[in-house]
Chain A
Amino acid sequence: MEEKMNFILLVPILFPVIAGVFLLWKREFQKRRSLLIFVGAVLLLTGAFAAVGILGGERRFTAFYLTEELPVFFKLDELGRLFASLVTVVWILAGFFSFAYMKKEKREKRYFGFYLITFGVLLGLDFAGNLITMYLFYEFMTLASLPLVLHSQTGEARMAGLKYLFYSFCGAYLALFGVYFLVRMGNTIEFTPGGVFESSFLLEHQTLFLVITMLLVLGFGVKAGMFPLHAWLTAAHPVAPGPASGVLSGIIVKGGVLALIRVLYYLIGPDFLIGTKVQKAWIVLTLITIFMGSMLAFREPVLKKRLAYSTVSQVSYILFGLAVCERTAFEGALLHVIAHAFIKVCLFLCAGAMIYQTGCKRVEELRGIGKRMPVTLWCYTIASLGLIGIPPTSGFVSKWYLGTGALDGKMPVFSWLGPLVLIVSALLTAGYLLPVTMRGFFPGEGFACRREKEARLMTAPLIIFAALTLFIGIFPETALTVIRAISGVCI
């Protein structure tokens, strides 16, 4: 019985894609309401299907064969479960937020169509059981999310969209070079915790593998906004509509993280990386990115761009944790994946809500916003504290693990330099996030403004994300049990 139900993995992938394509193909709805009901129903149903998959036991399913060597194969392991549940929660909540937000935008049907397609593609990425399947969904992720960036169809949006596209494909093809070698040289391309290569085989071809590891890191790192190929992120994320920038920054960048975990911890094996030049180079790149992202965010006046720079910096926290190749740091990285997803989506949705309500995009225009939209700003503040890493929020726990993990690592310089950079960056994070709160709640003398009505569809997701940030901060064990199960088999 259990065997036969495995095709259920395909349902949450295909259902939203088909629904999205249907939406694009269909004529305009007569009423806005029916469009929203349709999209809402699809989101919830997909969530239910995904939950059935995620909560069930171990599932494996080979859909079909591209060629004899390349099966499209799905497998649900702990890591996939973690990412898939993250995607599902965020996607549904941000989707409901969009219902309110998109009221003021044109071409809603197209937006929601691609929003649904991207949902399915992301679940496919999380459920992918081998390298080729993952690569397939990885490229589709770029393509499906592109229309979200292009949505406003201004000249700026088109430039940003093309930049997004070309950087992403540049990364994908850098990685593809490595993918070709991994497929050809390995006995299997199925993801296996700890790697599929014999250590003697790796040593024999050490130079080659170092080169392809570096290319994989750089290539998949593009999606994760890692220096030197990060410039697309700060162009593309802010031009999208509010909720779309939220999910781009919170979830889609994590696609790069997932891909890196998959190839390094599930194919090549982390042991190979320890002590090599590639590891050092990677750590240097992540530390540069962390510091640079925070610095640039600090001097950026437009709120959404500031948040995008913050994403550049924060995702490299995760990459730093992966690069250290040490268990605690790895756990910290995964925890930061969760923490950052909720926090960053929350922050972008707050920014979106503020733009929707007031039309203000620049930080200095947001004086007194706390008086006008208290709920939104409270959620913003909680999320900000999380991103800085102040207890009792999720960011504190994840950064704690990252820091102690780095200290435990056996690298000569980085074991202290890494945590130092993390702390400096946290300081900068406080510097670029908190002024909004301070100016918002304390606008100063002679500033009069009334409380405005905040749409409930907007505030509810914000409150949930803020609550999740606090919940994980106070009860980290809930997330850590899952994460330990992953790190236990990987390292």
Chain B
Amino acid sequence: MNAVYLLLVVLIPPLAGAVVAFAPWRRRAHWMCFLELAVILNSVLVWLLLFNRPADTLTLIHFTGELSIAFRLDGLGTVFAGLVSFLWPFATLYAFEYMTKEKHERVFFFFYTLTYGVTLAIALSDNILTMYCFYEMLTLATVPLVMHTLSREAILASRKYLYYSIGGAAFAFIGMIFVITYGDTTEFLLGGVLNMSKVGENRDILQFIYFLTFLGFGVKAAVCPFNSWLPKAGVAPTPVTALLHAVAVVKSGAFAILRVTYYSFGTDFLRGSFAQNAVMAIVMFTIVYGCSMAVKETHLKRRLAYSTISNLSYILFGAALMTPFGLVGALSHMVFHALMKITSFFCAGAIIHQTERIYVHQLDGLAKKMPKIFGIFTVSALALMGVPGLCGFISKFYLASAAIESGNVLSYFGIGCLLISALLTAIYMLSIVVRAYFPTGEFREETLEGISDPNWMMLLPLIVFVIFIVGFGLFCAPLISFFGDIAGV
């Protein structure tokens, strides 16, 4: 297909969002249908593009010399764009139902859809400058979503989110400058673009700069110690928490790290350096830290947010291995975690929507009243733990295999961290499940009068996701071999 379509898919969502926000609509159902159709159309276009990948680059603006804003679709971009465009229509559908209880809906949906376009732009970026620009824009587009309820808590949370993200981007900016200076080109090429003759004596400095870049992009991927914005941002409406803070925004951080690691600095340059060890140590710590905090947390959405922190670091662990197999592991966990976490968040959202219960200890016996939601939640919990037969097992298996393959002794400890985290995941997820299904003697069923499963707009996305969780868990050979092709295994 023509490369112009790349621009089109980035532009349709913000335009459609603007129409929803500013056109005079008579009825809610009308703009809902319009927006849903626009989002579906866009996703269909993206998937058409993925299957007929345009070979050439679309340069929008040419600043000077190497610097330009340009789009191109390569392997890594395919995965991220495919993931985002698959989830967005479902999430929009879910959001329609969820937002009935909130105000300022149309403004909300403007920013919600705008984010879709920006995230796609990150996925389709041809060079580091383009990615950086849209990365900053992503922060700005999502701040209003966090702030949505305009409560004091929400404003504080969004301010924190803003400061953290902008600060992180500043570090990433330093990295970008160095890549532009020492690289042959600013484009993303598998294996890296650094020119060794230019680097010469400055290896150590560049490795240190990589470390800074990692931390910078790592802010969005919630690497410890820059993670505290994520649980705070849980005050946002659940569709935001689910799609943005479990998939789009945080995965953009992870995606950017994969880009700079494998496509800019290059793994050959980094492997075995102190930067790799430092990065891996941080990631391993975050994996265990996130899970431990999740066990401690009793607020359901915040618990899931901590779980996200830990799982994002699984992806970064794959990045930190700096081998092709590591990239396969990272990509598979990126996709599978997105599915699992959006499912569990949507379940949490459905519980909040139907019962207004937000703490774990309020969930006693609810499974009887909301059997579908809790059935789905159980599947996502088991998948997150990595029970074989569900997709979480596959990605953990590939991460662990990659760690063994790399022969790096530190990474053996990383496997240990993965497994500790799996145990903690079992604790914080299954204690919810057991509570909901097996209430103890003091529990009175009358307190749950009038509670039921939500309607189809909430259930349909969940059912689709669960089918994919199980489907990929049982049969994902083609997907893994596709990731293998991307990583050049």
A327-B477 Cα distance, complex, nearest whole Å: 41
B429–chain A nearest beta-carbon distance, Å: 11
B156-172 vs A, CB cutoff 8 Å, 1 = contact: the mask equals 00000000000000000
- Is B397's CB under 8 angstroms from A70's CB? yes
B155 within 8 Å of A by Cβ?
Answer: no
- Is B475's CB under 8 angstroms from A166's CB? no
- Is A154's CB under 8 angstroms from B480's CB? no
A466-B269 Cα distance, complex, nearest whole Å: 70
A180-B430 Cα distance, complex, nearest whole Å: 24
A255–chain B nearest beta-carbon distance, Å: 15
Residue of chain A at shortest CB distance from B427: A166
Of A50-58, A132-140, A453-461, the one touching chain B: A132-140
- Is A177's CB under 8 angstroms from B415's CB? yes
Per the CB 8 Å criterion, the residue count for chain B at the interface is 35
| Interface SS of A by simple majority | helix
Which A residues are CB-close (under 8 A) to B405?
Answer: 184
- Is B419's CB under 8 angstroms from A176's CB? yes
Which A residues are CB-close (under 8 A) to B389?
Answer: 66, 136, 140
A485-B393 Cα distance, complex, nearest whole Å: 35
Which A residues are CB-close (under 8 A) to B473?
Answer: 66
A194-B304 Cα distance, complex, nearest whole Å: 45
A158-B434, A158-B438 known; A185-B387 Cβ under 8 A: no
A181-B403 Cα distance, complex, nearest whole Å: 10
A162 within 8 Å of B by Cβ?
Answer: yes
Which A residues are CB-close (under 8 A) to B422?
Answer: 169, 173, 176
Across the interface, B388 reaches (CB within 8 A) one of A66, A68, A146, A153, namely: A66
| Interface SS of B by simple majority | helix
- Is B419's CB under 8 angstroms from A173's CB? yes
B385 within 8 Å of A by Cβ?
Answer: yes
B376-389 vs A, CB cutoff 8 Å, 1 = contact: the mask equals 00000010010111
A146-B481 Cα distance, complex, nearest whole Å: 36
- Is A135's CB under 8 angstroms from B388's CB? yes
B423 within 8 Å of A by Cβ?
Answer: yes
- Is B426's CB under 8 angstroms from A154's CB? no
A161-B434, A180-B401, A181-B404 known; A67-B477 Cβ under 8 A: yes
Which A residues are CB-close (under 8 A) to B382?
Answer: 143
- Is B385's CB under 8 angstroms from A169's CB? yes
Residue of chain B at shortest CB distance from A169: B426
Which A residues are CB-close (under 8 A) to B419?
Answer: 173-174, 176-177
Across the interface, A67 reaches (CB within 8 A) one of B394, B404, B420, B437, namely: B394
B392-427 residues at the A interface, CB under 8 angstroms: 393-394, 397, 400-401, 404-405, 415-416, 419-420, 422-423, 426-427
A360 within 8 Å of B by Cβ?
Answer: no
A338 within 8 Å of B by Cβ?
Answer: no
Residue of chain B at shortest CB distance from A161: B434
Which B residues are CB-close (under 8 A) to A169?
Answer: 385, 422-423, 426
- Is B423's CB under 8 angstroms from A162's CB? no
- Is B404's CB under 8 angstroms from A185's CB? yes
- Is B438's CB under 8 angstroms from A153's CB? yes
Q: Please indicate which of the listed interface residues B440, B475, B476, B480 has the most CB atoms of chain A within 10 Å of its own CB.
A: B440
- Is A66's CB under 8 angstroms from B439's CB? no
A67-B394, A68-B477, A139-B388 known; A166-B423 Cβ under 8 A: yes
B2 within 8 Å of A by Cβ?
Answer: no
A201 within 8 Å of B by Cβ?
Answer: no
Q: Please indicate which of the listed interface residues A153, A155, A161, A183 has the most CB atoms of chain B within 10 Å of its own CB.
A: A153
- A-B CB proximity, top 5 nearest: A136-B388, A173-B419, A180-B400, A169-B426, A184-B404
Q: 15 additional contacts, CB 8 Å, given A166-B427, A174-B419? A: A67-B394, A67-B477, A68-B477, A136-B388, A139-B387, A143-B382, A150-B438, A157-B438, A158-B434, A161-B438, A166-B426, A169-B423, A177-B416, A181-B404, A184-B401
14 CB < 8 A contacts A-B: A67-B476, A68-B481, A70-B397, A136-B389, A146-B434, A154-B441, A155-B440, A162-B431, A166-B427, A169-B422, A169-B423, A176-B419, A177-B419, A184-B401
Interface residues of A (CB under 8 A from B): 64-68, 70, 132, 135-136, 139-140, 143, 146-147, 150, 153-155, 157-158, 161-162, 165-166, 169-170, 173-174, 176-177, 180-181, 183-185
